[in-house]
Amino acid sequence: MATIQYTTYRFNRPPLISSDDYETLKEILTERPEYSINPPSSFVETFKGELIFLGIGAVGFLIASLDLAEWLNWVGGIPAFFAFFSLFSFVPSMLSYVGFVFDKSSYYGKLKRDIINSKSYTEFTNLRNKR
């Protein structure tokens, strides 16, 4: 029986920020509440290799579907075949990555809200410990 291997992504909560970091972020968020403290995540950068492979497979499929010559069907069909089967590992990895991004965004959104709503570092730590 064949197994499908794929990458799982999981967000690990970082440790509580220091009082100096709290003060810095509090100052920034007071001046610019729209400032994002969420580190960027790039879907394209994470899945660059898979996306290139799927693109090559799509071009191969297009070449094979034109049915120009028998040998050209093989040249285009083989990458299309492998790209199709790579979807079985790409889709679960992609869904796992979407969950990771959601959890990360949720964490940093709550962190930002707690920094904005707290008056001191002690109050901030009490808010964070309730979560």
Predicted confidence (pLDDT) per residue in 15-64, tens digit:
999 999 999 999 999 999 999 999 999 999 998 988 888 888 888 888 88
Q: How many whole angstroms separate alpha carbon 105 and alpha carbon 65? A: 42
pLDDT tens per residue across span 62-74: 888 887 778 777 7
**What single-letter amino acid sits at 1?**
M
If one compares 83 and 14, the residue with the highest pLDDT of the two is 14
Report the predicted TM-score, pTM, of the whole model to 2 decimal places.
0.78
- For residue 69, what pLDDT is reported? 79
pLDDT at 1 over 70: no
How many CB atoms within 10 Å of residue 124? Answer: 22
How many H-runs (helices) and E-runs (strands) does the chain carry?
5, 0
- DSSP run (H or E) holding 119: none
